[in-house]
Amino acid sequence: MSLTASPSRNVSICLIWLKSRYGVRFSLQLGKEEAVLSITMHPIICDDWSLRIFMRELAIHYHAFAAGKLSPLLELPIQYADFVYWQRERLKEVALKEQLAYWKQQLYGASPMLKQPAERGSLMTQTPRGAKRSLTFPKMLVDELKDLSRREGATLFMTLFAAFGQCFITIQDKTIL
């Protein structure tokens, strides 16, 4: 992790960046009258369900801090490192081989790379240029997608991501389902 601070043109504001190798970045702008906290997370570490928990607990910490109190949240009985250890122990030689055999069978014959259609050739170097498109879906459609996600034990993000992936497969005239 690296923590850096840099004063802006306005002396009353200080910008603090906390960068992490875990796919999350925090930015805190402190002013005379207000403070702004920006949090950027990579989608692989945060889905909607996790984000709601994170925001709820952040609010609890904020209100406790603002009142001059300690956090009312108890420390979790297990940490991520405990989970990683448990997973490694669980996937010793035999279980790992079984899992690898299963996924090799499931993915046998799958295309190694998804070809994406493009209007023009790919760039030789990556640039930060991009575009943003906003879409508004009818409430009925969103409600039905949420119901589908709930029935399948998935988040809405997972359902939409699967649909997005299926669009690419369909474009390639291949079926995944």
- Judge whether 9 lies within some domain: yes
Q: Residue 13: which domain range?
A: 2-66
Predicted confidence at residue 76, as pLDDT, reads: 84
Q: Is 146 left (phi over 0), alpha (psi -120 to 50) or beta?
A: alpha
Tell me: do 97 and 59 sit in the same domain.
no
Please report whether residue 129 resides in a domain.
no
Q: How confident is the model at residue 21 (pLDDT cuts 50, 70, 90)?
A: low
pLDDT at position 105 over 70:
yes
pLDDT digits (tens, 9 = 90+) for 24-50: 777 778 778 888 888 887 777 777 888
Question: pLDDT, tens digit, for every residue of 106-118?
Answer: 888 776 665 555 5
* Number of domains making up the chain: 3
Mean pLDDT value of segment 79-93: 80
End-of-domain residue from the set 66, 92, 117:
66
Q: DSSP states of 19-32 as a string? A: E-TTSEEEEEEE-S
